Amino acid sequence: MSNSTSTPGIAAERLEGPALKDNFSDLHAPLSDHEALVAADRCYFCHDAPCMTACPTSIDIPLFIRQISTGTPEASAKTIFSQNILGGMCARVCPTETLCEEVCVREVAEGKPVEIGRLQRYATDTLMAQGEQPFERAASTGKTIAVVGAGPAGLACAHKLAMLGHDVVLFEARSKGGGLNEFGIAAYKSVDGFAQREVDWLLGIGGITLNYGQAIGDGLTLESLQADYDAVFLGMGLSGVNALRCEGEELAGVSDAVEFIADLRQAEDLRKVEVGRNVVVIGGGMTAVDAAVQSKLLGAQDVALVYRRGKEAMSASLYEQELATSKGVRIIYNAQPMKVAKSGKALSVEFAYTKTKKGKLTRTGESFNLPADQVFKAIGQTLEGAPDALAIDGGKITVDENGQTSVAGVWAGGDCASGGDDLTVTAVAEGRDAALNIHSTL
């Protein structure tokens, strides 16, 4: 992505290689063997463990922590992977502060939870380093299922189906698997090519054929998949982005945060990624935080993240917000973009201050301007390319509690499907559960 010709304030090489390497290193260092034992020792192995209930994939957390305590991290990893085959990535990206760790009894009593996420990473890394898949396939059922999208939902669905003895043909629009694990997650959460290593490891189960560069709506139709396969699962995520709907959003220098992050994630050399000196990010979710933090880490001087409502309403957790401010991002709450204008060689964004009255967002009548070389839109993704035959609910494919769509023989899960949070772990849970339902239906 290069806007530098028309917006001179956007440039590459704002920082030297060593500084970038440092800035984009692992957000949380992996635990050593000794640290893992100490961390595991803090668990009370609660009966009716609240952490387990809070996990969307229902991992048996006390069991896997006990297995670490007893010096069997491989068995611990198997406990994790039996519920969540992307347990390695989830250990890195789950907002544990609002899931398992939030309800851990040690968080409630002492304000310091058991480090469930880091322990999960310790166990899964240990087993994955040995290379082998811990699961075997059941005897062949003779059925073949089409899975669309090789993101967390599609991969979890494909793996579970393969384990149950089905053959799977996976269709992926891009030239790489992993979905947003590869193209979206912040670089410092998934270092050293982990997303691709995880895809390769997961495919080691066998029985899954991955076809890259094949998209539904672009040569591939739902009808042809229905005709050729015993069932279809759609895990195509949300590939469109919402418009700001304010004057000037088409100006050079204004772009999608998701696209910026994808370019950054795919860059072989971070020095080549261009960033403004003054960056304004508009939005309130993980994408907004990640675009703002990574702009700062690339060397932007001033990064403002502007959200239209208050702190509590922001969908990025308080932890994520604190992470942003700790990296030097300025968060401005209660401000709505009104207009982007050209101001000399750079841009200027006009914001109106807002307040929430009886749940309704209103403008206060005051406004302010922020100078910017680069403006990122991060106000949510939208469903694109969903087959016309499917019922849509709130902009997503309508599914029931089993992931079944309105069309018989077609399931959907992950971000593209109705219900659930847009999180990696939720996509994994929905892909897995749809696979179980496909299996019992077939």
d(CA 56, CA 64) in angstroms, rounded, equals 16
Q: Which two three-digit tokens encode residue 195?
A: 């997303």
Contact status: 106 vs ligand SF4 (CB under 6 A): yes
Contact status: 46 vs ligand SF4 (CB under 6 A): yes
Q: Which two three-digit tokens encode residue 219?
A: 């040569």
Q: How many CB atoms lie within 10 A of CB 22?
A: 11
Alpha helices in 306-422 (DSSP H): 318-326
Q: Which helix (H) or strand (E) holds 209?
A: strand 208-212
Q: Please state whether beta strands 144-148 and 167-172 pair in parallel, antiparallel, or not at all (unpaired).
A: parallel
Using CB distances below 5 to 8 A depending on partner kind, what does residue 235 bind out of ligand FAD, ligand SF4, none?
A: ligand FAD
Using CB distances below 5 to 8 A depending on partner kind, what does residue 104 bind out of ligand SF4, ligand FAD, none?
A: ligand SF4
Contact status: 298 vs ligand SF4 (CB under 6 A): no
Using CB distances below 5 to 8 A depending on partner kind, what does residue 184 bind out of ligand SF4, ligand FAD, none?
A: ligand FAD
Contact status: 104 vs ligand SF4 (CB under 6 A): yes
Residue 227 exposed, middle or buried by CB count within 10 Å (0-12, 13-18, 19+): exposed
Contact status: 109 vs ligand SF4 (CB under 6 A): no
Alpha helices in 240-358 (DSSP H): 257-266, 286-298, 318-326
> Shortest approach of ligand SF4 to residue 228 CB, angstroms?
45
Select 161 or 346, whichever has its Cβ closest to ligand FAD. 161
∠ CA 168-172-177, nearest 5°, is 90
d(CA 70, CA 52) in angstroms, rounded, equals 20
Q: Which two three-digit tokens encode residue 57?
A: 């994939």
d(CA 404, CA 140) in angstroms, rounded, equals 24
Contact status: 49 vs ligand SF4 (CB under 6 A): yes
> Shortest approach of ligand SF4 to residue 392 CB, angstroms?
38
- Where does this chain touch ligand SF4 (CB under 6 A) — which range of 44-52, 167-175, 274-282, 335-343? 44-52
Using CB distances below 5 to 8 A depending on partner kind, what does residue 116 bind out of ligand SF4, ligand FAD, none?
A: ligand SF4
Tell me which of 36, 93, 114, 185 binds ligand SF4, using CB under 6 A: 114
Contact status: 63 vs ligand SF4 (CB under 6 A): no
Select 46 or 338, whichever has its Cβ closest to ligand SF4. 46
Tell me which of 36, 43, 59, 280 binds ligand SF4, using CB under 6 A: 43
Contact status: 62 vs ligand SF4 (CB under 6 A): yes
> Shortest approach of ligand SF4 to residue 103 CB, angstroms?
7
For every residue of 390-415, DSSP letters joined together read S-EETTEE---TT-B-SSTTEEE-GG
* Residue count, binding to ligand SF4 (CB under 6 A): 15
Using CB distances below 5 to 8 A depending on partner kind, what does residue 114 bind out of ligand FAD, ligand SF4, none?
A: ligand SF4
For every residue of 4-53, DSSP letters joined together read TTT-TTEES-SS-HHHHHHHTS-SSPPPPHHHHHHHHTT----TT-HHHH
Contact status: 51 vs ligand SF4 (CB under 6 A): yes
According to CB under 6 A, which residues from 115 to 174 bind ligand SF4? 116
Instruction: With beta carbons less than 8 A apart as the criterion, state whether 7 and 252 touch.
Output: yes
Residue numbers at the binding site for ligand SF4 (CB under 6 A): 43-46, 49-51, 61-62, 65, 104-106, 114, 116
